[in-house]
């Protein structure tokens, strides 16, 4: 088992992740939780909680274009 130490980084505590356990990319969002005396760190789970907010930011022109497209007659495709 690898070990590391807790240190101060400004007003927060920080832990250096050993290279053997590091994620391949940096800048990713992680979730952290305490369960008893353990800290669990994992990539943040994607959520659909804010999907309506994302859709609300679409431009009215895009929404109109998508609506016009859905009203077009659908042609059958050739099957191979």
DSSP 3-state assignment of 74?
coil
What pLDDT is attached to residue 71?
Answer: 65
- Gap between the Cα atoms of 64 and 80, Å rounded: 34
Instruction: Note down pLDDT in tens along the chain; length 80 residues.
Output: 899 999 999 999 999 999 999 998 888 899 999 999 999 999 988 777 778 888 888 888 877 777 776 666 767 778 77
What pLDDT is attached to residue 16?
Answer: 92
DSSP 3-state assignment of 8?
strand
DSSP 3-state assignment of 41?
strand
pTM of the model: 0.50
């Amino acid at each position: 088992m690898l070990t590391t130490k807790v240190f101060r980084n400004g007003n927060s505590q920080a832990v250096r992740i050993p290279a053997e356990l590091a994620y391949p990319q940096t800048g990713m969002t992680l979730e952290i939780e305490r369960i008893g005396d353990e800290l669990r760190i994992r990539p943040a789970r994607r959520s659909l909680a804010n999907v309506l907010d994302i859709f609300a930011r679409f431009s009215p022109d895009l929404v109109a274009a998508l609506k016009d497209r859905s009203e077009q007659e659908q042609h059958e495709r050739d099957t191979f």
